[in-house]
Structures are given as structure tokens and as C-alpha cells.
Amino acid sequence: MSYQIIPPPPALKNYVRNFWVLENPTANVSQKSFTVMSNGSPGLIFQENPALFTGFEGERLPQLFVFGQARKYGQLQGGGNFRTVGVNFEPTALKQVFGLNAHELTDQHTCISHLTKASLCEQLLHCTSVQQQVTCLSQFLITQTQQYNNNNNNPQLQYATAALQQGKRLPDVLHQLNLSERSLERLFLAHIGITPILYARICRFQASLSLLRQGKFRSLTDIAYSLGYFDQSHFIRDFKLFSGVSPRIYQRKAIERMPGFPEWDL
């Protein structure tokens, strides 16, 4: 199984973190279970094989769909030969790109046909290479941002998301913006889909994942205190909520060909 990241064109740098491609050229691979970890961002997925993955509830997923924030981890099932192309959006992209109230898609997904009249899925199926598919997606998303972005760009929200990603405390962010927690919460629910408190927790979880992957710690307690957790048990509780396993199990058992989408060596 191979994984690659493709940077977005300059016109999409404020809306798209990256494009990604996950491929498995071997047809005789048995059904596998993959964990989808909470990462604080919505996304888009195109499956060349429409029967590739089943979703968190065992449902068949659309061939081309957009998904919102995940408040906890979930499990997908899939196997066989496949190529899947995806988009990792910036946290506020659902409103900026699709004009959606982001809270409507929290823990949900929707077929792209519910959001646009463009025949995007058909266009992607007619592409002959990954690069053509990424170009096709880029052109579609640029058109979408031109339609919606003028009404959905909020400097306070951009500052808050960046600050929380950097590990700043929510009270400090509110003070800098001169906003009440309730006012910022309304902005987050509409533009990101979750509360600022939950978003900050997911960002902190992602920071702990980075430390674990790099091995830059002496103990789990060191990670917990360096990231501002009250104690190690609070760190482990959040880690399980967003990943499905403890940090120790993640270290020993995760096979993470695609970051945030591990298989398990159980």
C-alpha cells in the first residue's frame, strides 16, 4: 500500500492543506479495519472503486463525498485493489468552499451531488492519472471558493484556529480577541462544526501524536505535562477518545502508512 501527499495550488492554500492519494495495487488483500482519528479538519474523498470502504456504521460510502469534523475516532472496513484520492481541508473550509453550516456535517458525510450540480465524479472517472484527478479537483474547488468565500472569511476565526493549533490557551485567545466564550463558540459551530474547547482538545491530541511518532519524550507523563494536560490519566483518556486506543497500544501496534489512518498489528 502506498501513500503520497500533493500540495495544493496557490489559489487554494487558504482552503486546502493537501491532496492525498492512497493506493493498494494488490487485488488479493483481505478485508482490513482502518481507524480514522480525529484531526480537526473536514475532507473530501473520491473512491475509484465505489464499493471500497464501508463507513462507521457499516454503510456503503458514496463514491465521492464530503465529510465534516469527527468528534471521536471511527472505523472503516476495506480491502482489495484500490486507488483513493482525498482532500484535507482547512478547518473552516466547509463554509468557505460549500457555503455550509459546518455543524450540519459534524460526524456526518454527504454525497457531493447534494452540494453541487457539477458532474465532478464523472469528470474524475474520466481522468487517466492521479495528477489529472488532482487538477480536476483543484479547478472545481477554486470555482467553489469564488462563489462562497467573499461572505465567509472571518479574521477572528482565522486567528483563533491558528492560535489553538499552536497550543495557546482558550482564555488567552478570548482575551486577545476581546470575545466572550459564547460568541467564539457560535463562530466555531457555524464555520468549523465543533466548539472551541473540543477543537483545542483535538489539536492537543494531534500534538501528542506528533511527539509519539518522533519519539521526542521520555515518558507519557512528560507528554501530558508538556502539552498542558492535568495529569497522565487525562492525556490517556483524550487519546483513547480520538484514536480508539491508548498511547502505548498506538506505539506498539499501529501500522500508519497514511497518517491518522492506521491499521493495527493485533
Q: According to the model, what pLDDT value does residue 87 have?
A: 98
The residue type found at 92 is: T
Round to whole Å and give the CA distance between 153 and 4: 30
Q: Which domains does the chain have, with CATH numbers?
A: 2-151 (2.60.120), 155-264 (1.10.10.60)
Question: Do the Cβ atoms of 71 and 28 come closer than 8 Å?
Answer: no
What 3-state class would DSSP assign to 195? coil
The upper half-sphere exposure of residue 10, i.e. CA atoms within 13 Å in the direction of its Cβ, equals: 0
| CA dihedral (12, 16, 18, 23) positive or negative | negative
- Provide φ and ψ at 172, rounded to 5°: -70, -40
Segment holding 187, helix H or strand E:
helix 181-191
Q: According to the model, what pLDDT value does residue 222 have?
A: 92
b/e map 146-178, b = 16+ CB within 10 Å: eebbeebeeeebeebbebbbeeeebeebbeebe
**Global pTM value:** 0.92
The C-alpha cell that represents 139 in the structure block: 479547478
Segment holding 82, helix H or strand E:
strand 82-89
Q: According to the model, what pLDDT value does residue 150 have?
A: 63
133-152 pLDDT tens trace: 999 999 999 999 998 866 66
Round to whole Å and give the CA distance between 1 and 25: 7
Question: Do the Cβ atoms of 143 and 98 come closer than 8 Å?
Answer: no
Q: What residue ranges of the chain have pLDDT lower than 70?
A: 27-31, 51, 79, 149-152, 265-266
Count other C-beta atoms under 10 Å from residue 22's C-beta: 19
What 3-state class would DSSP assign to 60? strand
